Structure 1
Amino acid sequence: MYLHGTSKINDKGHLQIGGCDTIDLVERFGTPLYVMDEALIRQRCREYVEAFRASGLKFQVAYASKAFCVMAMCRIAEEEGMSLDVVSDGELYTALQAGFPAERIHFHGNNKSPQEIEMAIDAQIGCFVVDNMVELHMLNAIAGEKRQKVNILFRLTPGVEAHTHEYISTGQIDSKFGLDLDNGSAYRAVQEAIALPYIELLGVHSHIGSQIFEVEGFQLAVDKVIAFAAKVRDELDVLFSVVNLGGGFGIRYVDGDTPLPVAKYVEAITSSVKENFGKYGYPVPEIWVEPGRSIVGDSGTTLYTVGTYKDIPGVRKYVAVDGGMADNPRPALYEARYEAMLANRAGEAEDELVSIAGKCCESGDMLIWDIQLPKVNSGDILAVSCTGAYNYAMASNYNRIRRPAVVFVKDGEADIVVKRESYDNIVGNDVVPSRMKQVSKTV
């Protein structure tokens, strides 16, 4: 397993993260356990901010909270000078409860409810990213009732297909997201927006997908967005003050993944922006981006305890852990791949080929197929790397499994930022109708 950030093998032969022995963390907090390397999170934040500062452009780097949204993470984003993207009332509430400045919050989503829009307007967030015409007119009406003008960006579908899994590719024409450039819907949206009294159109937003390793897709999206901006300027006399080029920057999950350094992505984007806006004689607007996975993905490690195993001669050996698709649905959703090691025997020879199974009652609950490990025993601790993004965020209570705790580790200190769910949490929202016969409780 590739060691990210502060991860290392200590003199006990144990995996250590943030100066904390993972076996000590297991004894203290149990498993499954999400462990987040705080120093690496902060490093990634700073890489984006510093790269944009070096470009000389006005910018905002907004952490895409959908990747991992807890109050402690919102605090880090604020401390590191970032803005924040949210896509639901729950994410917005989390950010506000964490004390994140509302004026630096951007609200995304293709189906914002009237209640979510009201909540965001009342909080006086910085910007709505408008996805469609229904939302535009609903937003104007609600803002009008409150006599409060709102800032918006229009989300565009630029017709750029990123080289990624179809479920996480979003920039192509056939997408549930955004207004299409080629069929004229984006242009008509600008025409309508500038006529609405409670809408302040700042600019446009483009996002082409996730887990992208090349810069060419971003550069092509820049070309299309700038051509659209020039058309709108020339024909409607509207200048965009903001262009949001989205996120989707890839990380290394397994050998063969080849993400670029953050600075390379930023340099390619900002150079393309300067060159293309210059061609059109267009004043360079403020550039926004919204990394999520590339901020937190490789900072996360999930620790599991090995339970049972099943050896099928001539076929494979299944090793089961005390988690699975309930805490990491990505392998089941889109065949995501991961690396892992035995955290308690990290220095031993990896001479056994096994497959890691989860405990959910689904044949598809497989975390890793065919991985080399030391001969695995019940009670070993399995560490799966790069689980910081879209693991806790997508976790469920399938089979009524309790969601794990989350700890931040840094400089030898470990802090709980999300408590492990209790049995009371599991049944806390259940209601038994009074017409049903009372049964005696058993423990």
Structure 2
Amino acid sequence: MIVELISVGTEILLGNIVNTNAAYLSEKCAVLGLSQFHQSAVGDNPKRLEDAIILALSRADILILSGGLGPTKDDLTKETAAKVMNKNLVQDIHTKERIQEYLQKVIPNHMVTENNWKQAMVPEGAIIIDNLNGTAPGIIMEDNGKRIILLPGPPNELIPMFQEDIVPYLNKLQPELIYSKMVKICGLGESYVETQIMDLIEEQTNPTVAPYAKTGEVHLRITAKARNEEDAMKLVAPVVTELKKRFQDAVFTTEERVTLEEAVVELLKERELTVTTVESCTGGLLAGKIINVAGVSDCYKEGYITYSNEAKKRLVNVSESTLAVAGAVSEECAKEMAIGGAQSANADVCIAITGIAGPDGGTQEKPVGLVYEACYYKGNVEVNKFLFKGNRDKIREQAVVKALTLLRKNIIENK
């Protein structure tokens, strides 16, 4: 089946907000096995929205619209979609009661205004989806084999509604169940990974393997269609096994929700290791990633942001001579940062980062993007040199991912 997405809202076209809903819905529809060839964003204009819906219905079986379901006059998604589907709007008593209950719960003593009841008007004969996190209900309209799904714009309302209610609905439309598994890889480039699985991609029918590149990571989604979940899992399992065989320790998880930092923290806890971080150009980004993991207090006690040379000397004992001769951005400095951090924190492991994130500060010998990372592990130190491309944010982001990868590598190799 073919699905098409329309994101509604002038604020999207003006760039006032980032359209994260489209990215989320695209990924989830792909997992469900739905084909998607077009998606669009339309401002709060009923004529243009009507034209977009008519065009989308001419080439797709399912149309998902997000946004424009609020109580104000410029929220016209529901009204426009109902017009295209020749549906009259009627008041839904259940939705009206839920809106009143929600508003009184969230805003005690709130005076419900007349425009709030606009959200209780729904297309006649539509399937109504309760919104547990807001007032705008989800709506499903069906007619002549075509389906329009209307979802609220706020991600904290759209995402749980889609996951809990729309996914089961869409699954029932499919003749076969869709099951997928994710294999996440770090430390290897996208081109290399694709080369190593080209035979699987070229020969694939069911299941299929699809690569997705992230900063410093490559994710491989294995998707199978079958009559039931058990049969689909049997199709996926040997492919996952083969991928783990090919990429070995570079595979850090086969669970979609597990992040690289979560996998690293789990390793630290399994080995009963303590860790600290020493950061210069990343200024605490690495520590923040690690500390975001629940339960990390078992292994992470303290960290150091040594942005200045003075801080490097005072906090982690980088020598004056190293800074004078090799400089703050050097293999020697990174090594001393890692050793000094481990000693200062009395930690088993220390990861250190020093570099030039830009946009200023680069030279011909040491250009912007040059980063040294060192990992101290119980007396041994490994130093890696990188030359990252991109703006300041991108360089710092890449540095953090590579640091987590280096940390994980040293833990695995020193069993």
What TM-score, normalized by structure 2, do the two folds share? Answer: 0.24
Q: Greater relative contact order: 1 or 2 (C-alpha under 8 angstroms, separation 6 or more)?
A: 1
Highest CA radius of gyration, 1 or 2?
A: 2
What TM-score, normalized by structure 1, do the two folds share? Answer: 0.23
Structure with higher helix content: 2
